[in-house]
Amino acid sequence: MSSVEERLPRLVAAELVSLPKGLQEHIHRVRQAAAELAAAWELTPEERAGTDLAAAAHDLSRHLTPHGLVAEADRLGIPPTTAERHAPILLHGPVAAERLLRDGALADASVVDAVRFHTTGRPGMDRVALAVFLADKVEPWKLARRPELLRVRQLAFSEPYRAVAAFLTEETAALLKRGALVHPLAMDTRTHYLIASGEPLPPHPGGY
């Protein structure tokens, strides 16, 4: 176990090294990206430690099958939304957060929140959750697959609210183009950060 992993709670470190290799590599890249954001935003040492822990834990349930995620959500008392029932992969953050909280591996509410909402985000995220959310979206492998997200990465270092809104705008458009489900919380998050960023908004045409 590396010195970096030794700083993690034992359960998180043990689960991390048991994951499929590709998922381990993704988590490593997210931890690096989150550390870069934490440095740029001058987070406190406590916030940096929380950011790294949340980044390490965020995908610990990502490898579960759709049936496994629904079963875990039911076991943990997490009531899935309609979108999550039809796209169980959306449950992997809430399942990991709740499971690790109950197992005693996560205690800090900020870290739990960052793990729980790293996929959709939520309105009013703190700096730990913002760093993990954005790092997960702009880690190098994802940027290589979707170069249009380079602007999100650039914004993330100085204008994180705009970065969140920009990512969710791109992602929502991509999902709708494929006819895929969009999580309602992601839409609420986009609305919140569009307004919070101070970005001028066009007048709404009214109606749909």
Domains of the chain (ranges, CATH numbers):
3-146 (1.10.3210.10)
Burial of 45 (0-12, 13-18, 19+ CB in 10 A): exposed
Q: What is the pLDDT along the chain (208 residues), one digit of tens a residue?
A: 444 565 788 999 999 999 999 999 999 999 999 999 999 999 999 999 999 999 999 999 999 999 999 999 999 999 999 999 999 999 999 999 999 999 999 999 999 999 999 999 999 999 999 999 999 999 999 999 999 999 999 999 999 999 999 999 999 999 999 999 999 999 999 999 999 999 888 888 887 7
The structure tokens listed for 97 are 């957060």
Please state the pTM of the whole predicted model.
Answer: 0.94
The structure tokens listed for 175 are 């999902």
Helix axes 21-40, 45-57, angle to 10 degrees: 160
Q: What does the CA dihedral 192, 194, 199, 200 come to, rounded to 10 degrees?
A: -90
- Cβ atoms of 30 and 143 within 8 Å: the answer is no
Type of residue numbered 129: A
Distance CA 114, CA 128 (A): 6
Burial of 59 (0-12, 13-18, 19+ CB in 10 A): buried
Type of residue numbered 170: E
- Cβ atoms of 115 and 133 within 8 Å: the answer is no
Scan for tokens 């990502």, then name that residue: 62
- Cβ atoms of 140 and 29 within 8 Å: the answer is yes
Query: DSSP 3-state assignment of 122?
Result: coil
Residue 150 CB: number of other CB atoms within 10 A? 11
